[in-house]
Amino acid sequence: MHKLILMLACCGAALVQAAPYIPASGQQVVASVPRRGDPLQQELRRLRSQLNASPNDVALATTVARRYIALGRSETDPRYLGYAQAALAPWWQQAAPPPEVRLLRATLLQSTHQFAPALADLKAVLAADPGSTQAWLTLATVQTVRGDYADATASCARVSRLSIDLIAITCIANVGALTGKAERSEQLLDLTLTRSANAPPELQVWALTLLAEMAQRRADGAAAEARFRQALALSPRNSYLQGAYADFLLEQGRHAEVLTLLRDQERIDALLLRRALALQQSGQQRAMQADVKELAARFDAAAQRGDTVHQREQARFELLLRHDSRAALALARKNWEVQKEPADIRIYLEAALQAQDAGAAKPVIDWVASHHTEDVMVTRLMRQLRAGI
């Protein structure tokens, strides 16, 4: 169960910093250094010291990597994912590393949207160990993000034979909500969560976040709000959750709440983007322009490195902050080739609408029709595109 929860921490959007942050002055705080007296940090230093002495100890290396993955989730700090990868360095480039390393490598690869090598690792792990719940769930997550819904459903079915109800039903409901079974999936997940009061907080947060997004897609603001707040009470520093709730608040024009929610979170690109959008809504032009400049530098640096993790966020940046619909549409199209989540559908359609290019939106419109995607905002955007507005 512990390993499975660590994997869940890396699911969803990868909120990884794209470029070094350059402070405006020597007095500006850029990061909070963990206290040396912190028991967790002391334990990590002890383990890391042992690993430095025995870098080829696979059991020790995987223990360290798992600890760093968990810390990256709890501290909302992507640097720890890099530390996790460093712990696995002796095996990272191997074609067939030990299964426990390969599973962690797949988890880290999918967190940065390197889906093809992640899938290869996961399938190899499962060929050797068909009973790996974590591998099946990670596989289902990647397949869902890529829009491979039939395969994702099959992977979730394997999870249901190996794990507790809340994990299995959350996996199944996530796929069902995107394939024409939204109402039934939401009801089933809500009921399962109610019956799982003793489930680990990480699992409850996962289910609550999905439930909030389901309610948001059907325009039930009250239900979405309640679920987002429940999840945040359990995990206030979860960066994916913060970004999702910020988007919900931005849709309602509640920019002041977004600024409060995202205070001191500028090191994470996706959250800095949402702060800039909140500043735009509030009319704070000078502060917004500073964020726009910073985001532009980060996206430019990512492009130079060939990093495509943030194409969805960059498309929103170009469309909503730079008002360049053509650039946004090009980025949304590239992003669509990699992942097909509801947010990817929205930004693609929004960019096509602003660019007045209904033809460019046809692949996404056809996708929505063929998979029976249910989303009030998506339906509205498609109606506008068809009307030529």
Dihedral sign computed on CA atoms, order 282, 287, 293, 297? negative
For 116, the token pair is 């093809």
For 262, the token pair is 């995202």
Cα 287 to Cα 248: distance, rounded to the nearest angstrom: 22
Cα 128 to Cα 265: distance, rounded to the nearest angstrom: 41
Which of 69, 87, 109 finishes a domain?
109
For 381, the token pair is 């955007």
Residue numbers of the domain that contains 335: 308-389
pTM over 0.85: yes
Domains held by the chain: number? 2
| Neighbour count for residue 345 (Cβ, 10 Å) | 24
Please calculate the CA angle 97-164-61 and round it to the nearest 5 degrees: 25
Dihedral sign computed on CA atoms, order 186, 189, 195, 200? negative
For 119, the token pair is 């899938």
pLDDT value for 37: 55
Residue 285 lies in a domain: no
Which of 83, 109, 135 finishes a domain?
109
Residue 254 lies in a domain: no
Residue 337 lies in a domain: yes
Which of 89, 109, 129 finishes a domain?
109
Residue 67 lies in a domain: yes
Cα 383 to Cα 386: distance, rounded to the nearest angstrom: 5
Tell which residue, 230, 287, 318, has the closest CA to residue 245.
Answer: 230
Question: How deeply is 147 buried, as exposed, middle or buried, from its count of CB atoms within 10 A (0-12, 13-18, 19+)?
Answer: middle
Residue 23 lies in a domain: no
Residue-by-residue pLDDT tens, the chain, 389 positions: 544 444 454 444 333 333 333 333 333 333 444 444 577 788 888 988 899 999 999 999 999 999 998 887 766 667 888 899 999 999 999 999 999 999 999 999 988 889 999 999 999 999 999 999 999 999 999 999 999 999 999 999 999 999 899 999 999 999 999 999 999 999 999 999 999 999 999 999 999 999 999 999 999 999 999 999 999 999 998 889 999 999 999 999 999 999 999 998 888 899 999 999 999 999 999 999 999 999 999 999 988 888 778 899 999 999 999 999 999 999 999 999 999 999 999 999 999 999 999 999 999 999 999 999 999 999 999 999 988 75
Q: Which long-range contacts (CB under 8 A, 24 or more apart) does 326-329 make?
A: 326/355, 328/354, 328/355, 329/355, 329/357, 329/360
Cα 86 to Cα 105: distance, rounded to the nearest angstrom: 11
HEC states along the chain?
Answer: CHHHHHHHHCCCCCCCCCCCCCCCCCCCCCCCCCCCCCHHHHHHHHHHHHHHHCCCCHHHHHHHHHHHHHHHHHCCCCHHHHHHHHHCHHHHCCCCCCHHHHHHHHHHHHHCCCHHHHHHHHHHHHHHCCCCHHHHHHHHHHHHHHCCHHHHHHHHHHHHHHCCHHHHHHHHHHHHCCCCCHHHHHHHHHHHHHCCCCCCHHHHHHHHHHHHHHHHHCCCHHHHHHHHHHHHHHCCCCHHHHHHHHHHHHHCCCHHHHHHHCCCCCCCHHHHHHHHHHHHHHCCHHHHHHHHHHHHHHHHHHHHHCCCCCHHHHHHHHHHHCCCHHHHHHHHHHHHHHCCCHHHHHHHHHHHHHCCCHHHHHHHHHHHHHHCCCCHHHHHHHHHHHHCC
Residue 102 lies in a domain: yes
Residue 365 lies in a domain: yes
Residue 63 lies in a domain: yes
